[in-house]
Amino acid sequence: MDFDLTEEQRMIQETIRKFADEEIAPVASENDKKAHFPRDLFEKLAALGFMGTPIPEEYGGAGFDFISHAIVAEEIGRVDSSLRGTYSVQVSLVELPIYKFANEEQKKKYLPKLTSGEWIGCYGLTEPNAGSDPASMVTSAVEDGDFYVLNGQKTWITNAGIADLAIVYAKTDKEAGSRGITAFFVERGMEGFSTRDLHDKLGLRASNTGEIFLENCRVPKDNIMGDLNKGFKVALGTLDFGRYTVSAGWVGSAQGCINICKKYVKERIQFGKLLGEFQLVQQMIADMVVECEAGRLLVYRAGHLKNKGLPNTRETSIAKYYCSEMVNRVAYKAVQLHGGYGFSGEYDVERFYRDARINTLYEGTSQIQQLIIGAYELGLKAFV
């Protein structure tokens, strides 16, 4: 077992940390308040190679390993979970599944556009009445010559309104449940494809979230990703990538809370002493640090398995479940340590607290992660 980062991983950490501190952090709060997606920062990250971290160089990626991928998510998440969300979706929910499941022609067509930041992608699985149970989706794809005709609606899709490419899941055999789903590449501009932004979110306000509408949208058969009726496998394989990256992002966010609080409790004086001198305050700081470090180790363990190409669904779910709940506890304490000031938009912990709330909800709620972990432990599945 080796707990050290390699020279390359340390260099990546240094580069992305500097970029996060100098370019992302100064505008994160303003972007949140204005619900503004910073396309310029997205493009700068791409120029540094960070919009294709784990994708091989032949497809325009940086060719780094999965621990490096986690480090990038962590460092962006340390200052801005909204932008980290865009990173997660672009790399883990769009590029990595393309790399794993698409054919050579599709990889060559899409990956360089995505890794270079020229195109933004999104992952369209959730529907208004199919969230935790995606196999119950009703979006349909009906064969018509060399095309499939897609009809349906997707909701809560990160990047929907700014995406050039959507990976959309649809029923190609509506009687076959999860065995009748197929993944399609749908490009903006295809007739019958449109999006609408969703507003007034509790957190992640600088991240675009929207709905996708498919109205007799004709998609060429060549745009099927993976095999016909095998899309559910693609969707779940994708979530193994996505859950990993969000977990790393929330470790970063927890670290961000700790960093902010360390500074605050060493400045704020009550009862004639620094807050940080009180034992109850140190207890809170200690709990935050222990929880954050435990989360980081769970993420890196899953990353280690990914690097070795070993099964990691269980370990990724454990990391996702723990980090989701952990960052909520940490952000809660961060607000607590700031007293009334933590309740104000003037202080970053307020944004971190609101942003943290999403994580127990998306990419499989905490209950869904518990059911996955429980099934591994007991050998009994709550759902297929």
Q: How far apart are CA 259 and CA 250, in angstroms?
A: 14
The answer to the question of residue 94 lying near ligand FAD (CB under 6 A) is: no
Cβ at position 120, least distance to ligand FAD in Å = 12
Among 132, 136, 270, 282, binds ligand FAD (CB under 6 A): 132
Q: Does 131 bind ligand FAD (CB under 6 A)?
A: yes
Q: At closest approach, how far in Å is the CB of 131 from ligand FAD? A: 2
**In angstroms, what is the minimal distance from the CB of 276 to ligand FAD?**
34
Active site residue 363: yes
Which residue type does 245 have? T
Among positions 362, 369, 372, 373, the unique one binding ligand FAD when judged by CB under 6 A:
362
Nearer to ligand FAD, 110 or 362 (CB): 362
Q: How far is the CB of 210 from ligand FAD (least distance, A)?
A: 9
115 binds ligand FAD (CB under 6 A): no
135 forms part of the interface with ligand FAD (CB under 6 A): no
Stretch that binds ligand FAD, among 51-59, 102-110, 122-130, 251-259 (CB under 6 A): 122-130
Q: Which residues contact 309 (CB under 8 A, 6 or more apart)?
A: none
Helix (H) or strand (E) holding 257: helix 231-265
Task: Tell me, letter by letter, the H, E, C secondary structure of 4-53.
Answer: CCCHHHHHHHHHHHHHHHHHHHHHHHHHHHHCCCCHHHHHHHHHCCCCCC
| Binding piece for ligand FAD, criterion CB under 6 A, among 144-152, 155-163, 321-329, 345-353 | 155-163
Could you give the dihedral angle defined by the CA atoms of residues 45, 49, 51 and 54, in that order, rounded to the nearest 10 degrees? -150
Tokens in use for 101? 């499941």
Binder among 52, 60, 117, 124 for ligand FAD (CB under 6 A)? 124
Handedness of CA 159, 162, 166, 169 (dihedral sign): positive
Q: How far is the CB of 199 from ligand FAD (least distance, A)?
A: 12
Contact with ligand FAD (CB under 6 A) among 365, 374, 375, 376: 365
What is 305-341 written as a DSSP string?
HHHTT---HHHHHHHHHHHHHHHHHHHHHHHHHTGGG
227: Cβ–Cβ under 8 A, 6 or more apart, which residues?
182
**C-beta of 157: minimal distance to ligand FAD in Å?**
5
Note whether 125 binds ligand FAD by CB under 6 A.
Answer: yes
- Interacting residue with ligand FAD among 50, 64, 156, 250 (CB under 6 A): 156
In this chain, which of 89, 91, 183, 326 binds ligand FAD, going by CB under 6 A?
Answer: 89
Q: Say whether residue 167 binds ligand FAD (CB under 6 A).
A: no
Per the structure block, which two tokens stand in for 235?
A: 């969707």
Asked if residue 90 lies in contact with residue 242, where contact means CB atoms within 8 angstroms, the answer is no
- The residue with its CB nearest to ligand FAD is 131
Cα separation, 189 vs 41, whole angstroms:
25
Q: Of 216, 282, 344, 367, which lies in the binding site for ligand FAD, with binding defined by CB under 6 A?
A: 367
* 172 to 211: interface string for ligand FAD, x by CB under 6 A: -----------------------------x--x----x--
Question: Pairing state of beta strands 165-171 and 121-124?
Answer: parallel
Paired tokens of 9:
């991983």
- 297's tokens: 């180790």
Q: Is 271 helix (H, G, I), strand (E, B) or coil?
A: coil
Taking CA atoms, 75 is separated from 12, 150, 169, 257, 291, in Å, by: 10, 38, 31, 13, 17
Q: Does 249 bind ligand FAD (CB under 6 A)?
A: no
Alpha carbon 101 to chain centroid, angstroms: 19
Q: Report, in Å, the least distance between residue 227 CB and ligand FAD.
A: 20
Residues that are catalytic: 363
Residues near ligand FAD, by CB under 6 A: 89, 122-126, 131-132, 156-158, 201, 204, 209, 358, 361-363, 365, 367-368, 382
